[in-house]
Amino acid sequence: MKRRTFIALAFTYISSIARARDTYQPTLERGRSFLAGLIDPNIDLLPEFAGSNVYWLWHDNALAAKTLSISHPDVSKRIDGAIAREKIDKADRKVDLLFGEKPDVLPFRHYELMDVRSIGKKQIRTEIPSDREMKGWASYADLLFLATLAEKGTEKARASWDLAMAMWDGVGFRDAAAKQHRRYATYKLGIALLAANSLTPKPDIPPGLVGHLQKMQSAEGGWITDYRRDGTPVGKANVETTCIAILGLERHLRQ
């Protein structure tokens, strides 16, 4: 009887995973198609959002190249080639944490915005780390989640996770930025899912977190940057938010 019960439970669990994959897969495919469709054929880079004349090497295009590496390898290679073409040696490598890599990013530092070059009305820009150490970063949920990833396997990782989760109010992460701008950042939901997957044992995901993330996907497939407490989307679907949403949902699906 016990063996039959175990087999039944295992079958139920496997079936639930399969159903989840069937649910998420169209969502992820639409997101990646949105990204791939943004590539500018003249410079092989993605604009910050549809219609923008600003093209960020880091974080946007570096994120997009890795996010599209399996589903759209040709687009990914074109982006990588375009980034290499600009010969930027000093880049903000925090995004590498989202892919399981462990760049030396601690202590966190302030970043600077750099104009790489202009092509007509189009501007290629990037973020580079400065020498100034960031103070008070523990007031921001996204940086706490990045610290969780950077400190993987240590007690500090769990401590960073716990501090970030204390900011969850049932709708979003009400950290210093959310209090100031009176809205929640969508990408922080995706980073939370990535950070959770890096911990052992894996923590429970708060009810509603995944649902709020899914609701911020636009009709075009990208993820909208922010939302209000009542769930109203604020802003546009952009590259960075879309990449992080895809990565977070995909990693959550593998749990």
Written as one string, the DSSP assignment of 13-56 is: HHHHHHHHHHHHHHHHHHHHHHHHTT-BTTTTB--SBTT-SEEE
Comparing CA positions, the residue from 177, 232, 176, 187 lying closest to residue 213 is: 187
Q: Is the pLDDT of residue 21 over 80?
A: no
Q: Is the pLDDT of residue 24 over 70?
A: yes
Q: What are phi and psi of 55, to 5 degrees?
A: -125, 110
Give the residue-averaged pLDDT of 112-117. 95
User: Residue 127 forms beta bridges with which residues?
Assistant: 113
Question: What percentage of the chain exceeds 90 in pLDDT?
Answer: 82
Burial class (CB in 10 A: 0-12, 13-18, 19+), 89: exposed
Residue 74 has what pLDDT?
98
Cβ atoms of 72 and 65 within 8 Å: the answer is no
Predicted confidence (pLDDT) per residue in 146-192, tens digit = 999 999 999 999 999 999 999 999 999 999 999 999 999 999 999 99
User: Would you state the structure tokens that stand for residue 129, as one six-digit string?
Assistant: 């780390």
Q: How many residues does the chain have?
A: 255
Residue 4 has what pLDDT?
57
Predicted confidence (pLDDT) per residue in 208-228, tens digit = 999 999 999 999 999 999 999
Residue 3 — very low, low, confident or very high, per pLDDT cuts 50/70/90? low
Other C-beta atoms within 10 Å of 8: how many? 10
Q: What is the b/e burial string over 239-252, where b = at least 16 CB atoms within 10 angstroms of the residue's CB?
A: bbbbbbbbbbbbbb
Comparing CA positions, the residue from 63, 58, 11 lying closest to residue 35 is: 63
Residue 91 — very low, low, confident or very high, per pLDDT cuts 50/70/90? confident
In angstroms, what is the C-alpha Rg of the chain?
19
Q: Is the pLDDT of residue 19 over 60?
A: no
Q: Is the pLDDT of residue 14 over 90?
A: no
Give the residue-averaged pLDDT of 13-23. 49
Predicted confidence (pLDDT) per residue in 181-190, tens digit = 999 999 999 9
Residue 93 — very low, low, confident or very high, per pLDDT cuts 50/70/90? confident
Q: From CA 180, how far away is CA 194, in angstroms rounded? A: 25
User: Would you state the structure tokens that stand for residue 77, as one six-digit string?
Assistant: 């290679």
CA angle 67, 157, 144 (to 5 degrees): 65
Residue 102 — very low, low, confident or very high, per pLDDT cuts 50/70/90? confident
Residue 8 has what pLDDT?
47
Other C-beta atoms within 10 Å of 210: how many? 19
Average model confidence (pLDDT) across the chain: 91
Which contiguous run of DSSP H or E holds residue 180?
helix 176-181
Least confident interval from 7-11, 41-45, 128-132, 234-238:
7-11
Residue 2 has what pLDDT?
54
User: Would you state the structure tokens that stand for residue 84, as one six-digit string?
Assistant: 């290499």
Give the residue-averaged pLDDT of 125-148. 95
Cβ atoms of 247 and 31 within 8 Å: the answer is no
